[in-house]
Structure 1
Amino acid sequence: MDFTLTIKRLSALWPVAGLVLLALNLRAAITGVSPLLDHLRTVSGLSGLDVSVLTALPVLCLGGFAWLAPPLARRVGLEAAVAGGLALIAGGVLLRSVPSPVALFAGTVLAGAGIAIGNVLMPVAVKRHFPDRTGVFTGLAMMLMSASGALAAAMAVPLDTAAGWRTALAVWAAPALLAALTWAPSAWRGRHERPQLLPSAPEAAHGSLLRSPLAWSVAAFLGTVSLLFYVLVAWLPTIMRDNGFPPAEAGMMVSALQIISVPLGLAVPVAAARMPGQRPLVIGVVVAMTVGLAGLLLAPGAGWLWVAVLGLGTGSAFPLAFALLSLRSPSPQIAARLSGMAQTVGYLTAGAGPLAIGVLHDATGGWKFPLVLLLVLLLPETAFGLLAARAGFVHLSACEA
């Protein structure tokens, strides 16, 4: 009897454990690469364009594969789709540690595909398992994503120095494999529950989010937020090194950017869920990003100050954008469709950022014009954010209610 009670209690805890392990694997495989770009360029014989493509590839994969997640979840079940995405992350991380440029790029694509699936289905899992606590559990997931991303960035150079670049890349396969194995039993038990993710309401069976202005606003806000975040993750170490900071310290700046995001990842979605509209949060994000980017442009020597300010901006923007996926969805079914649409559009937009900034840097020989461009991009981020933050739900119809 006690054994049965223990099993029931463990089963009740599973959704939390599953969400925790999923969130821990949705950023580390990306952020652990940028501090090693110079070393990878040397050992793999990559050109400047190759490095720019490598920085853009994970984000392009997040957009390119995001659209697959909702139909995959409907076909095999939410848990099985998440487990499969985590297995792809583990396999991709291991593959890119093979000393070959082809393996490096192919492994990056696989890992990016797995992260795309997990990214899209994470808000769906929150909406399904914690419908009355979406703010708290979205915040928990975002906090853990930031923490794992910060840890990966901080450990990259020390691991490279101690054990080599292959180990520094491959180590992140272990938590992905553990997470996949954790989700697998639930995937097996839930294989007959697939209809739960099929459209259940009459309006969910017809119509398209492509005709929803609010859905497009959410997607565009996520895109601009993601573009700025992944540009900083990819190029901040290089920007800081070019301004006289040592490589290890420059790598730590990326880590610090995300350490600052850890408490904000929890606090911002909780605050957003308690507000009928989230426009004050959008304004706060834009102000912080403006100050931080202008600081890097005008006084790069005070790098740590601007990293702290940018940490406040990105640390609030990303959780807010993800929270809106749940807050603007009236049901898990629509949350799945909005998450898939927003992340496809958003990440394909964001994927152009690291590549464009790298090409612009090579063309101009400095960081002045790339940073000015990032400042200009805050204008559409503000506009789309204010539209996405208005109270209401998206609907699968031609007009908003």
Structure 2
Amino acid sequence: MKISALPGAVLSKNQQTLAITNAELGLLTTLPVLCMGGLSPLGHMLERRLGLKRSMIMALALLTIVLLLRLDGGSYGVLLFTAVGVGVGDAIIRPLMSGFIKGEFASRAPATMSVYAASMGVGSAVAAFGTPRISDATGSWPLGLAFWALPTALAGFCWILWREDITAPARSAAQPSLTISRSGILGLTLFFGLQAGINYAAIGWLPSLYGALSYSDHTAGLLVAIMMLVQTGVSFGMHVIMRALKLTTIKAALAFSGLAILGTLCLLLAKPLPWLAPVVIGVATGGLFPIALLQPLDFAHGRSEATRLAGLTQTGGYLLGGLLPWITGLLIDQLGVAPALLTLLVGSAGLLAVVTVLIQRTYQK
């Protein structure tokens, strides 16, 4: 559901119109992430009361309404309110999707999760590309933001047509407790947060790194776009990669954690080979994201448990992931952009590998 986010390109162009500071502008993108982190258990709570179908329809209806409210985009208060609404809707939908995949595609979970992960990347790219152009074509940037209520409403209509297996909640209700230890939940949460943080830090600070190396803004933006394009391609084909290399989820996590370390070290060659690090980091993060989404499904024994476990791991995961770019900024003030980014990314990727080993022990129990 990333198409519902507030595209920075549009808002930064209209910052003067809104009469807001940079801090207030940043709050519009930070709030949805905080909501996704703090409110992810809502998905499981609603599924237990309403079932998956009605919970999903309710979340999509909420998103449609708050996106339509952006037609009054000239008000910062309205945009702030809709940013929270988007975060709440996303917080409900993401764990529900994990449960849906576990319940409907259990035998094809890696392939389905790869498509799901890639679709979020495509949604982000379409929104980033399309919103400014819709705004220019209509002469109204609030209309460009509110446009995405249409595909959201269409998604809700598709869920109305879906026939839910009404016996699924009854089966899952017989398993109220999770079958994974607290240390296992902590490991999954750290894995999700670290892989997200590596991605956020790379997207947020690679342009500054290339700018410090005297590359133009255009080139820096192109290199980040290459990274995101590689990410999406790898996410989409992740199930094929795992099947071709005969990788289990845990082996894939170790392999792509190693690629994250290698990709970060490639930043040392950023001057002569500027494209190398974005490509390798893109491969690494493109593989780590579907793995992070897939891991809770490996431990869950039903749709409801998968929804609950995904909600728990994403709660702390998104909060941790959102902190890492900020920590990177603090390090940059002290060390400079290149040493800080290398330190943060290598450290996070190394810790990711350690967490993966700890999760492996949980698999073996």
Q: One fold, TM greater than 0.5?
A: yes
- Percent identity reads 26
> Would you say 1:82 and 2:52 are equivalent positions?
no
By how many angstroms is 1:339 displaced? 0.9
- 1:66 match: secondary structure: coil
Post-superposition Cα deviations, 1:90-118, rounded to whole Å, max 9, x if no partner, equal: 33334346122222222111112111212
By how many angstroms is 1:255 displaced? 4.0
Post-superposition Cα deviations, 1:219-263, rounded to whole Å, max 9, x if no partner, equal: 210111112223344555566567666656655554433321233
Structure 1 residues 118 and 232 mapped into 2: Cα distance closer, same or farther (>3 Å)? Answer: farther
| Contact 2:70–2:143 (CA under 8 A) maintained in structure 1 | no
Query: What's the counterpart of residue 182 of structure 2?
Result: 212
Distance across 2 between alignment mates of 1:364 and 1:51: 25
Distance across 1 between alignment mates of 2:169 and 2:27: 35
Q: How does 1:244-283 map to 2 (within 5 A)?
A: 250-269=220-239, 271-272=241-242, 277-283=248-254
| Contact 1:241–1:247 (CA under 8 A) maintained in structure 2 | yes
Distance across 2 between alignment mates of 1:366 and 1:36: 29
Distance across 1 between alignment mates of 2:157 and 2:349: 41
* Structure 1, 250-259 or 169-178: larger mean CA deviation: 250-259
Structure 1 residues 252 and 149 mapped into 2: Cα distance closer, same or farther (>3 Å)? Answer: farther
Post-superposition Cα deviations, 1:69-128, rounded to whole Å, max 9, x if no partner, equal: 001011111011112222233333343461222222221111121112121111111111
> Would you say 1:92 and 2:66 are equivalent positions?
yes
- 1:205 match: secondary structure: coil
Q: How does 1:233-382 map to 2 (within 5 A)?
A: 233-236=203-206, 250-269=220-239, 271-272=241-242, 277-296=248-267, 299=270, 302-358=273-329, 363=333, 367-368=337-338, 370-371=340-341, 372-382=343-353
Query: What's the counterpart of residue 7 of structure 2?
Result: 33
By how many angstroms is 1:373 displaced? 2.4
**Aligned partner letter, 1:375:** V
Instruction: Supply the RMSD in Å over aligned alpha carbons.
Output: 3.3
> Would you say 1:103 and 2:78 are equivalent positions?
yes
Structure 1 residues 249 and 152 mapped into 2: Cα distance closer, same or farther (>3 Å)? Answer: farther
Distance across 1 between alignment mates of 2:140 and 2:236: 34
**Aligned partner letter, 1:169:** L
| Contact 1:59–1:347 (CA under 8 A) maintained in structure 2 | yes
Unaligned 5+ segments in structure 2 are none
> Would you say 1:178 and 2:154 are equivalent positions?
yes
- 2:253 match: secondary structure: helix
| Contact 2:196–2:317 (CA under 8 A) maintained in structure 1 | yes
> Would you say 1:116 and 2:116 are equivalent positions?
no
By how many angstroms is 1:357 displaced? 4.0
Distance across 2 between alignment mates of 1:45 and 1:303: 37
- 2:301 match: secondary structure: coil
* Structure 1, 280-289 or 297-306: larger mean CA deviation: 297-306
Post-superposition Cα deviations, 1:132-185, rounded to whole Å, max 9, x if no partner, equal: 211221122122222222232344555555555434433322211110122124
By how many angstroms is 1:366 displaced? 5.4
Distance across 1 between alignment mates of 2:227 and 2:191: 20
Unaligned 5+ segments in structure 1 are 1-25, 393-399
Structure 1 residues 182 and 267 mapped into 2: Cα distance closer, same or farther (>3 Å)? Answer: same
Query: What's the counterpart of residue 191 of structure 2?
Result: 221
| Contact 1:27–1:148 (CA under 8 A) maintained in structure 2 | yes
**Aligned partner letter, 1:68:** L
Query: What's the counterpart of residue 13 of structure 1?
Result: none
Distance across 2 between alignment mates of 1:343 and 1:273: 26
Post-superposition Cα deviations, 1:251-302, rounded to whole Å, max 9, x if no partner, equal: 5554433321233223324555795743442233233323444445763685
By how many angstroms is 1:358 displaced? 4.9
* Structure 1, 279-288 or 304-313: larger mean CA deviation: 279-288
Distance across 2 between alignment mates of 1:391 and 1:196: 27
State the aligned residue count.
361
| Contact 2:172–2:302 (CA under 8 A) maintained in structure 1 | no
| Contact 1:135–1:273 (CA under 8 A) maintained in structure 2 | no
| Contact 2:168–2:303 (CA under 8 A) maintained in structure 1 | no
Distance across 2 between alignment mates of 1:93 and 1:238: 32
